């Protein structure tokens, strides 16, 4: 089967790798360069915190899959776990709600003392701790490096990576795909996977499939790389906020 994948972020790269290793003839069309969109701006926190039970089960399975990928592709994932703490009762309520998302699973969070907290990561100066929790299963990865490893493995399995290569038109026979036109030429395809981030609505519109995106602004801070202490945990959530964005360490 001839399959095109639009987008060489971490999602498109993973899809291309799995397709190529399964025997498909794969082309990856990337508008700019690999890992240049949302991927390079991702917090890259591997976790299962979510309210939806089905999605949570999927994320727990994905953590197992990432362990296997880490072993086979040397992804250098930091399996440091996750710390969250509260300095007052209001913050503690938000933190307990977060912890409740993993209650009843095989990997629940556990409450820890201030002494345990400091033993897990002595590099943090937390101030007063009213209550704290720890999840040992969380990890953190370098999304750009992991994307490159996925793409390298996809190319090794026969995939073709094309960039800069922008998709300009779909060739359809009724509702059936026949090929695509790109800035690097025309390609005959049987299937097309769209993993193009914010460019996805433009591409799907070519197939008369309207898609709207929700604007969800966030704050991203870049720092100089620092050496990682052996005891360091992966990250913690900002204790005074109900936001799902973590603070990466």
pLDDT digits (tens, 9 = 90+) for 165-215: 999 999 999 889 999 999 999 999 999 999 999 999 999 999 999 999 988
User: Which pairing describes strands 160-162 and 131-135: parallel, antiparallel, or unpaired?
Assistant: unpaired
Residues in the chain: 249
- Enumerate residue ranges in the chain where pLDDT < 50: 237-249
Residue 244, pLDDT score: 40
Residue 75, pLDDT score: 96
Q: What ranges do the domains of the chain cover?
A: 2-44+143-195, 45-141+228-248
CATH pick for 2-44+143-195 out of 3.40.50.720, 3.50.50.60, 3.40.50.2300, 3.90.480.20: 3.50.50.60
Edge-first strand listing for the sheet containing 110-112: 110-112, 131-135, 82-86, 235-237, 246-248
Cβ(126)–Cβ(240) under 8 Å? no
User: In whole angstroms, what is the distance from residue 175 CA to residue 178 CA?
Assistant: 10
User: In whole angstroms, what is the distance from residue 12 CA to residue 167 CA?
Assistant: 14
- What is each CA distance from 109 to 101, 200, 233, in whole angstroms? 9, 36, 14
């Amino acid at each position: 089967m001839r399959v095109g994948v639009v987008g060489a972020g971490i999602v498109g790269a993973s899809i291309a790798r799995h397709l190529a290793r399964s025997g498909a003839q794969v082309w990856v069309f990337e508008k700019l360069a690999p890992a240049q969109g949302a991927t390079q701006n991702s917090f890259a926190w591997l976790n299962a915190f979510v309210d939806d039970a089905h999605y949570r089960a999927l994320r727990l399975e994905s953590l197992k899959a990432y362990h296997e990928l880490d072993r086979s592709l040397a992804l250098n994932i930091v399996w440091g776990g996750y710390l969250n703490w509260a300095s007052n009762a209001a913050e503690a309520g938000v933190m307990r709600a977060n912890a409740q998302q993993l209650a009843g699973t095989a990997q629940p969070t556990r409450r820890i003392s201030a002494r345990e907290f400091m033993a897990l990561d002595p590099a943090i100066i937390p101030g007063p701790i009213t209550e704290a929790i720890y999840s040992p299963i969380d990890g953190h990865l370098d999304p750009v490096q992991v994307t490159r490893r996925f793409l390298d493995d996809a190319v090794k399995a026969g995939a073709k990576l094309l960039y800069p290569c922008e998709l300009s038109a779909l060739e359809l026979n009724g509702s059936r795909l026949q090929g695509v036109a790109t800035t690097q030429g025309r390609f005959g395809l049987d299937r097309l996977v769209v993993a193009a981030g914010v460019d996805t609505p433009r591409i799907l519109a070519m197939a008369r499939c309207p898609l709207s995106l929700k604007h969800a602004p966030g704050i991203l801070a870049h720092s100089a790389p620092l050496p990682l202490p052996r005891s360091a945990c992966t990250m913690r959530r900002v204790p005074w906020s109900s936001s799902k964005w973590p603070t990466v360490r």
